[in-house]
Structure 1
Amino acid sequence: MSYQYIGKLSGSHGLDGKLVLRHQLDGKNIWSKIPHIFVEVRRESYIPYFIESQSVLNHEEVLLQLDEIDSMELAKTLAGKKVYLENEVYAKLKPKAVSGDMIGFKVIDEALGELGIIEDMFETPGQVVATIQYQNKEVIIPLIDSTIKSIDGVTKTIVVSLPDGLLDVYL
């Protein structure tokens, strides 16, 4: 089974074991579609936790009550841990949010076809950019709402529509 990173449990909240998850998913109503999450308790060791209740705090944080986590002490054992979804569940959510775990994704332009594989990603003010090798040249492309058409976590592809002439600058 393969997983997609979605965020990190930033800490416990209250005495009843609730946890705050800082995530990279878009949409306030998305949490009603997620029955469970996987917490990486040790490197590449993913434990499933069913979500008993959730409450959206803001666009990047949600308060979760997880099955069997019913005290502050138990919640603290999960604080700081990375959270994942199965690729199939992630793909069904159709998020347009860009994640740092997209290195290795294939980039396909609607007009030009396959461009290359994302080799690196970094954040600049206002946008995330990715570097790919296109026609033996390193090319930097913006991964923003206006260029991303779809992201498929299962097939590891991103479909984009790049501005006319962007690639010509590099060639």
Structure 2
Amino acid sequence: MKKEECFYLGKIVSKFSFKGEVLIKLDTDEPESYVKMESVFIDYNNNLVPFFIERSSLHKSDLLRVKFEDVDTEEDADDLMKAEIYLPLYLLPKLEGDQFYFHEVIGFTIVDSAFGEVGLIKSINDSTAQALFEIDREGTEILIPMNDEFINTIDREKKIVQVTTPEGLIDLYL
């Protein structure tokens, strides 16, 4: 399995017991959806390696307490610290309406209600306080905040994200 075929679910943040249990910080609004998983892929030495789950339960709000098969000691768990956890993209629940996963709008066209066609979404920058659409307009990069108030509609069939940005925002880049 390749990373491009997967989505990031979270990261192993600490050991939980001396029997190899770990805590995974989940990157999701619905941690309860991931309690009954049978397996995950762990980014181990730059390879996605499948790990099977013996048992798991929610710990506090967004931590998943997991006991992996064949991870039976603190030393085994130490080896997995800070590792990222992935699942195949096909396991993502389908979103309806104006909800979307970041990866699914890459390549969509952004159309502003006042400006018109802005360009193609080449990526999403979520390393800032507010996630940003990174748009390519004939070689010029335009950044538009992914603010619910700016996003009007998403047309998955036509691959268009319709937005209304504050006056002058797009002109800043041109």
Identity among equivalent pairs (%): 20
- Please tell me whether the aligned partners of residues 3 and 87 of structure 1 are also in contact (alpha carbons under 8 angstroms): yes
Q: With the length of structure 1 as denominator, give the TM-score of the two structures.
A: 0.69
Residue 159 of structure 1: CA displacement? 6.4
Structure 1 gap segments, 5+ residues each:
153-157
Residue 162 of structure 1: CA displacement? 2.0
- Please tell me whether the aligned partners of residues 153 and 163 of structure 2 are also in contact (alpha carbons under 8 angstroms): no
Q: With the length of structure 2 as denominator, give the TM-score of the two structures.
A: 0.68
Residue 93 of structure 1: CA displacement? 6.3
1:78 has 2:76 as partner: no
- Please tell me whether the aligned partners of residues 5 and 83 of structure 1 are also in contact (alpha carbons under 8 angstroms): yes
Structure number with the bigger relative contact order (C-alpha 8 A, sep ≥ 6) is: 1
Separation in structure 2 between the aligned mates of residue 37 and residue 114 of structure 1, nearest angstrom: 38
Residue 160 of structure 1: CA displacement? 4.0
Separation in structure 2 between the aligned mates of residue 62 and residue 149 of structure 1, nearest angstrom: 34
Structure 2 gap segments, 5+ residues each:
none
User: Greater share of strand residues, 1 or 2?
Assistant: 1
Residue 18 of structure 1: CA displacement? 1.4
Query: Structure 2 residue aligned with 1:23, among 23, 26, 50?
Result: 26
Residue 31 of structure 1: CA displacement? 0.9
Larger mean Cα displacement after TM superposition, 106-115 or 74-83: 106-115
Query: Structure 2 residue aligned with 1:63, among 62, 65, 82?
Result: 65
Written as runs of structure 1 = structure 2, the 5 A alignment for 1:1-171 is 1=1, 2-32=5-35, 34-43=37-46, 45-51=47-53, 52-59=55-62, 61-89=63-91, 91-92=92-93, 94=95, 102=103, 105-109=106-110, 115-119=119-123, 121-125=125-129, 127-145=130-148, 147=151, 160-164=161-165, 167=170, 170=173
Question: Quick one: structure 1 residues 11 and 145, their matched pair in 2 at CA, closer, same or farther if it must change by over 3 Å?
Answer: farther
Separation in structure 1 between the aligned mates of residue 19 and residue 108 of structure 2, nearest angstrom: 44
Residue 38 of structure 1: CA displacement? 0.3
Separation in structure 2 between the aligned mates of residue 105 and residue 34 of structure 1, nearest angstrom: 28
